[in-house]
Structure 1
């Protein structure tokens, strides 16, 4: 007779096994009848409607504000600054005296060159007298030779002396021309000790002080003394990535935001696109290739710095008052949105709805056979081989009867949120836009899906309300 404790343990074990078997049977029946289980296999997705809209492609870049026209002034001669008539921020007119360099050395050079000219002219006069004397002697010897009064050698000697005197006179003439050229050069160097404004504008940068010595630019880069700029004609130079610059064209409109004026936007237009790139961190993983693009600021600005007679529209009723206009300074940071292309009334879907699939993996690859005949046995050896070839195409997934339907599409331009669908959709379709992993990897044609209901606005938690 078995002990009572052992029998109780056995009955408990049989009861547990029976419950497990019953649960398995119930799960199989429920899955087969569709009571439960099938919903867990469906992928929960988010959807949006393919709709017709207007898209504008935008290229965004950042850069610095700078004058459209800015002239760097460096002296042509070296010396000490003895007169400085401007300060940074002053407005100047074309031809105004800006800087004067001590001219003592260059005055001495002019005086020395003038003395050289006088000496060369005196030498030329002496050589002319020698030539005239030799000419008279030649005529006398010629008359005597014609009368057979002298030997032929005496006549030839007189003729040679005249030619020598004539050549010396011509050399003296050239020496005078050379001395005069040195005098002109010395006077020009003297004139360069006074530096005048090459254009009307504002002294945007001043790098020298009174009494400072500067180096001229005759043989190498000299001292940059100052810059004169047209501050009423400003532009933004931005760096556009090499992938985006192909979409930018001259004349494209732009919206400009300057960091110093966060609540204002300004109109702009593309005026220049560089042909040569700027490359940073070349040869490393952080290498970046950008192209400088210049955008002219169209809205009135720096009106108090406008130069009269430059064509700036200051008298129109649309121009704001000078004290209300923005004041842009060279070097300010800004961001620009360049509107490169606009399409109207096209089918568009959210950008995240478009993904890529390899059609070569979705369709059975064709079997190819090759036969190799061996000379020894004379039999055919048939070998089956597969040659998978990647075939990437753009697709979107639609929701149709609770399943994902893949549709191949052709895309166009994009804006910040949507992408143009040129072919594949006609509008109104329910396309799957998320989650990202499902759209990019998981979904396949025929995958069961369940649309996630849109979030309903509810009450805020008490803590958040408080």
Structure 2
């Protein structure tokens, strides 16, 4: 009898424990939406449609380069005997950059001077001959007119005078030619000295004293150095063909360089190429870009090089330089955000809230009166608005977008609660009238789940 009573008590305790576990699991399952989905609905994330300023940007990448750069090449060949500048030196217009060995060119000048002297001596001789021939001709002319000499001697004197005048004229031309050769020889000698054509910085130096260089008279010539205006820098970036239509000359831009992640520079679009630059042409990876030039406003290299706050290493063996070197050096890589258009007081929603639906397809909860018999797609942009415990599909017209928000031109007035996620729900699953609940949990009707008002 006692054994039967103990067994009954154990069964009663086990049943009570099982019932308690079932109640706990049921409550937890209800909260987590494991069941009761008919009233809880699809879990979604929401955000208010608000009025804000939206600026559309086009992002591109490129490398810094001077806006003005001159490559120094010699006009004459020769050996470098003096190189008074180093890479990084600041030079003024007219400063001596290099000097070539002048011996051969000095000798050419001396030869040309000798030729000028010789031509002048010949000219003097021809002038004397011409004077003598003219006197002989005049004397024989008088004798011929008096009938003293025959006609043949008169014409011989006339011919000699004509030849003397021609030789005198030729001597004049030889003097001018010799003088031209002398000017050319002196110019060649002067070209052995290379001077700075403008104010700037020696941004690149590729030669040393003792090297022989080739002049531009012999093909392209040796590129000895570059003189650049580092106070006027620019970037040439590649903009995709889909974005370049939004870019216009004069658009402002923000420029950031990899070397200085904590600094930004203001820029302006100065040039947009008309011809495309095509990469991987003819392949599946073909990319069409247009080069766009961005000028950095102001002088980016006026101050000391920027340093990250709190960064860097302390090097006691090397004193810190207070203002050495340019901030932006040619070849530095950077990114550009071009501000193409700005809309103030625009109704804006997160970009992920806008999706596309085919209005020729009828999904669960859709308005069947809008179904069309056409087999073609009728794709329209929509957002889903959370109202009470259901989703309402609203067709919208969109405008520009920034990195986060998109302008809504029509369809929303602002203040509506739009569904922003999850992506699978917004892009595919949600339909007109679907039951919803927020990601944080809770009934839209005011139950234990959070309300999206």
CA distance in 2, matches of 1:324, 1:157: 86
Residues 149-168 of structure 1 mapped to structure 2, 5 A cutoff: 149-168=148-167
1:346 matched residue in structure 2: 346
CA distance in 2, matches of 1:151, 1:45: 131
Once the two structures are overlaid, the 10-residue window that deviates more, 77-86 or 237-246, is 237-246
2:396 matched residue in structure 1: 409
Give 1:207 shift: 1.0
Residues 335-414 of structure 1 mapped to structure 2, 5 A cutoff: 335-359=335-359, 388-389=375-376, 391-399=378-386, 404-414=391-401
Give 1:158 shift: 3.4
Gaps of 5+ in 1: 1-34, 306-320, 367-385, 457-466
Residues 49 and 431, structure 1, Cα contact 8 Å, conserved in 2: yes
1:327 matched residue in structure 2: 327
1:112 matched residue in structure 2: 111
1:79 matched residue in structure 2: 78
Structure 1's 182 and 39: CA in aligned 2 closer, same or farther, altered over 3 A?
farther
Residues 166-315 of structure 1 mapped to structure 2, 5 A cutoff: 166-288=165-287, 289-298=289-298, 301-303=301-303
Structure 1's 91 and 439: CA in aligned 2 closer, same or farther, altered over 3 A?
same
Residues 278 and 292, structure 1, Cα contact 8 Å, conserved in 2: no
Structure 1's 451 and 123: CA in aligned 2 closer, same or farther, altered over 3 A?
farther
Q: Are 1:450 and 2:425 matched, yes or no?
A: no
Give 1:338 shift: 2.3
Structure 1's 191 and 324: CA in aligned 2 closer, same or farther, altered over 3 A?
closer
Give 1:110 shift: 1.0
Q: Are 1:425 and 2:424 matched, yes or no?
A: no
Give 1:296 shift: 0.7
SS in structure 1 at match of 2:183 = helix
SS in structure 2 at match of 1:86 = coil
Give 1:405 shift: 4.1
RMSD of aligned alpha carbons: 3.2
Give 1:248 shift: 2.7
CA distance in 2, matches of 1:331, 1:448: 56
Structure 1's 117 and 435: CA in aligned 2 closer, same or farther, altered over 3 A?
same
Equivalent pairs, count: 385
Structure 1's 359 and 160: CA in aligned 2 closer, same or farther, altered over 3 A?
farther
Give 1:244 shift: 2.2
User: What per-residue deviation string (whole Å, max 9, x for no partner) do you get for residues 219-239 of structure 1?
Assistant: 421111122233344333333
CA distance in 1, matches of 2:409, 2:172: 83
SS in structure 1 at match of 2:164 = helix
User: What per-residue deviation string (whole Å, max 9, x for no partner) do you get for residues 212-260 of structure 1?
Assistant: 1111112421111122233344333333323223323343333232222
**TM-score, normalised by the number of residues in structure 1:** 0.73
CA distance in 2, matches of 1:165, 1:454: 116
2:48 matched residue in structure 1: 49
Residues 61 and 239, structure 1, Cα contact 8 Å, conserved in 2: yes
CA distance in 2, matches of 1:162, 1:357: 106
SS in structure 1 at match of 2:261 = coil
Q: Which runs of 4+ in 1 moved over 6 A?
A: none
Structure 1's 81 and 325: CA in aligned 2 closer, same or farther, altered over 3 A?
closer
CA distance in 1, matches of 2:43, 2:143: 131
User: What per-residue deviation string (whole Å, max 9, x for no partner) do you get for residues 86-137 of structure 1?
Assistant: 2222232322222110011111111121122222222323332333233223
Residues 60 and 239, structure 2, Cα contact 8 Å, conserved in 1: yes
Residues 7-86 of structure 1 mapped to structure 2, 5 A cutoff: 38=38, 44-86=43-85
Give 1:76 shift: 1.2
Give 1:345 shift: 0.5
Once the two structures are overlaid, the 10-residue window that deviates more, 423-432 or 409-418, is 423-432
Residues 207 and 224, structure 2, Cα contact 8 Å, conserved in 1: yes
**TM-score, normalised by the number of residues in structure 2:** 0.74
Give 1:187 shift: 0.5
SS in structure 2 at match of 1:134 = helix
Structure 1's 119 and 255: CA in aligned 2 closer, same or farther, altered over 3 A?
same
CA distance in 2, matches of 1:101, 1:258: 40
Structure 1's 46 and 303: CA in aligned 2 closer, same or farther, altered over 3 A?
closer
User: What per-residue deviation string (whole Å, max 9, x for no partner) do you get for residues 377-411 of structure 1?
Assistant: xxxxxxxxx7x555544333334576554433322
